[in-house]
A and B are shown apart, each in its own frame.
Chain A
Amino acid sequence: MNKVIPSAADAVALIRDGATIMCGGFGLCGLPENLIRALHARGTRNLTVISNNPGVDDFGVGMLVRAKQVSHFIGSYVGENKEFERQAIAGEIKYTLVPQGTFAERIRAGGAGIGGFFTPTGYGTIVADGKETRVIDGRNYVLEAPLRADFAFVKAYKGDSKGNLMYRKTARNFNPVMATAATVTIAEVEVIVEPGQLDPDAIVTPGIYVTHLLKGAYFEKRIERRTVRQLQAV
């Protein structure tokens, strides 16, 4: 079994108009940028994209938004992208906001065969409108449904040809949970190794969740806020 796929274009070739796609990343950190570029090049339209943020105007999911490939966006925060804002105000893109923890847990539930869960998050706010609530041990909870997708694009640091994945620092974020919640999961990595070369105890995403593995051709890894400190003279 070898899950390695030769190119990003091959990886997205089966994605049709109207597909639902999960896309890992937090802001621009830990983004499956090669797969996003390939889907942008393919020009697939009417997509539902499930990702924490829609990127910035010209990078990340923002590339798909700017090319008008996204009809519905589901995430927790949509600031930092002027074109997204323009389309949202003009009614050209539909968007659904989900509290970030509920968002992560809905995806986890989707991948873990859980039909829904009660969370305290959002109780008494507009997020709970129209949803079942319940008092459990004296506390108020809101019922939330699982989220799944046709495809998940995930970014990992290292993978082996069986699809086992390891991540690096905060580039992990939503990637492991999204890997579990799609019909087809495509992982792009910086380094591909042979089975046996990853420490089995350090594997975060077991290969069972990964359909295809891609070595990313190019990682820009754009930095959203370049905050640095200076050395102080004494």
Chain B
Amino acid sequence: MEKRERIVRRIARELHDGDYVNLGIGMPTLVANYVPPGIDITLHSENGMLGVGPYPLESEIDPDLVNAGKEIVTELPGTSYFSSADSFAMVRGGHIDMTVLGALEVDEEGNLANWMVPGKMMKGMGGAMDLVAGAKRVIVAMEHTTKDGGHKILKKCALPLTGTKVVQMIVTELAVIEVTPGGLVLREIASDTTLDAVKKATGATLHVDGEIAHF
């Protein structure tokens, strides 16, 4: 299975029936494809919509209906629309059950860096800072290391932060890690990897609390 598919399939198992969920641009969006049977969630898009549906058929295209990634989408029955100010009131007010975002770095305290690489032009944080500050649960979806094997899970983030002490869970192609007040707890490892390989790929201390499951 492709790395990204493995990550988003695992995150989809964190969804609860009735959840209001915001999925970030890119890989997190794919979580919507793996919602388990019997679980009914409502997708929030921060540009002002609850009830995001799949991409339209060519015949259904409506330029007035886009998601936060500026992709054209459809509305499901029960959709509502609202202004950006109302949308972020929902976010900051703690009404969104879960958000899934990518990351450049995450650290032992749950600090997250995902918007700015020094030396490159700043493109902006969009809604990421509001989402991590306000959602009840923040899950990071990312590959465990950089393309050249560098650590992304660190003792302390080096890049400019998106939020402080905001991440509750990190899901990679190798591991499921929970961020706790006592540090990072390794909950699961992928069925085709080893504890040593996960530790080697991680630049922070991993703790164990009972059994490590496989996924």
Contact = CB atoms under 8 A, between A and B. Distances in A.
A108 B85 contact: yes
B121 A97 contact: no
Contacts of B49: 169-170
Given A29-B63, A100-B127, A119-B92, A228 B85 contact: no
B73 A227 contact: yes
B163 interface: yes
Contacts, number: 177
Interface in B145-183: 160-164
B184 to A, nearest CB: 19
A168 B82 CA distance: 10
A221 B62 CA distance: 9
A133 to B, nearest CB: 12
Between A52, A105, A122, the greatest number of chain B beta carbons within 10 A of the residue's beta carbon is seen for: A122
Contact of B125 (A76, A157, A174): A76
Given A26-B47, A169-B65, A101 B92 contact: yes
Interface string A157-185: 10000000001111111111100000000
Nearest to A56: B70
A175 to B, nearest CB: 7
Contact of A225 (B57, B72, B123): B72
B117 interface: no
B55 A228 contact: yes
Contacts of A227: 55, 71-73
B65 A170 contact: yes
Contact of A125 (B46, B48, B69, B164): B164
A233 interface: no
Chain A binding surface, main DSSP class: loop
A60 to B, nearest CB: 11
Between B48, B54, B57, B89, the greatest number of chain A beta carbons within 10 A of the residue's beta carbon is seen for: B48
A136 interface: no
Between A100, A126, A171, A230, the greatest number of chain B beta carbons within 10 A of the residue's beta carbon is seen for: A100
A171 B126 CA distance: 17
Interface of B: 45-49, 54-58, 61-73, 75, 81-85, 87-89, 91-92, 111, 121-130, 133-134, 160-164
Interface of A: 26-30, 52, 75-80, 85, 88-89, 97, 99-105, 107-108, 119-127, 157, 167-177, 204, 221-231
